[in-house]
Amino acid sequence: MSLSENQGFNTRAIHAGQAFEPRTGAVVPPLHFSSTYAQDGIGGLRDGYEYGRGNNPTRDSLQEQLAAVEGGTHAFSFSSGLAAEDSLIRALTRPGDHIVLGNDAYGGTYRLINGILGEWGIGNTPVDMSDLDAVSAVVAANKTRFVWVETPSNPLMKITDIAALAELTHDAGALLVVDNTFASPYLQTPLALGADIVVHSTTKYIGGHSDVVGGAIVVKDAELAGKIGFVQFAVGAVSGPMDAFLTTRGLKTLGVRMDRHSENAQAVAEWLLERPEVEAVLYPGLPDHPGHELAKKQMKKFGGMVSVQFKGGEAAARKVAEATSVFTLAESLGGIESLMNYPSEMTHASVKGTELAVPVNLIRLSCGIEDVEDLIADLDHAFSFIQ
């Protein structure tokens, strides 16, 4: 099937990189496990295939699919989201360069940038990405290579103006990296808004079934792609064939899942807003969210993630986090099943005591695609444990 970027998201997600197998007509392309490929004489490669670290037909299909849904020209699939981020930073920064990142970034991203790559001479400064004047000042004061933003952010659900940030970043000669994991390419396409690079933990919404770990980088600049592709090949933190296959299968249903995730999260957020035990509900779909109008402008819907803070502090948050049954207490997000997370001690434990520390009265909900009445009943039961 011949595809164009004018075709709809779901059409591209289902068909990009997924041509039927020509010998048998199999509608689903076969899964290629081979680690190496026969050569027709020395250097006579068949369709460029030589060795599994360098390329694999199943991974190549996923990469074509990822580029199509993000509006990029090149995509690269990795063994995890952090492997993707590490390869990106290795490819495009050098000792002495600086990364300006959001002051509520994912704890694993900060741990990588500060704790691992900081030892290699890559500096970083966390800043509130909603304050463009503050971002500009920090960018100008350093040898900034990347401005790195999550929107919506994890777990405070802040919304950043991607187009405005791209203009600021480019004026300074830097590159804008957008972690699009929370929104997914169905709800938001940062490259179309001026971003240079999109990163994903494909473990989350793209895979969508809590059964595969992976990461991705998407760009639309050939020079950047060449540098990233070299590191992907030379370092080798690639997704294996089965992981690529499962991610492709998940991505095909991303659109319909995100519709349901967003509907459920909106209903849960509105229910939480009426509870007397709640101090704040952080969800961009609520009209009083400070980023609501901006989210309406740059997102299709508001996503499946909701964070909530409790008047009863840490004790109340812990009680609710440990009292649900439909919501499973676990790290990660974006699967078809609902997950409950206490970030201060789980996903963001690595940033405790820093500017990025998560409030101890906050829990993060990944609203799955179950019947929303059951999600609300589960939370209602859990709330009864608050003293």
Q: Which residues are known catalytic residues?
A: 53, 106, 179, 204
Q: Radius of gyration over alpha carbons of the chain, in Å?
A: 21
Amino acid at 230: F
- State CA 324 to chain mean position distance: 26
Assign residue 184 a region (left: φ > 0; alpha: ψ between -120 and 50; beta: otherwise): left
CA-CA distances (angstroms) from residue 160 to 141, 344, 356? Answer: 21, 23, 17
Encoding tokens for residue 90?
């290795």
Which residues face 87 on adjacent strands? none
Contact indicator for 162, 153 with CB cutoff of 8 Å: no
**Residues constituting the chain:** 387
- Characterize 171-205 residue by residue with b for buried, 16 or more Cβ atoms within 10 angstroms of its Cβ, and e for exposed: ebebbbbbbbbbbbbbbbbbbebbbbbbbbbbbbb
Strand partners, 146: 99, 175
Written as six digits, the tokens of 362 are 């906050």
Per-residue HEC secondary structure of 124-161 comes to: EEEECCCCHHHHHHHHHCCCEEEEEEECCCCCCCCCCC
Quote the CA–CA distance of 228 and 217 in Å, as a whole number.
9
Residue 123 pairs with which residues in a beta bridge?
A: 98
CB-based contact 49:37 (threshold 8 Å): yes
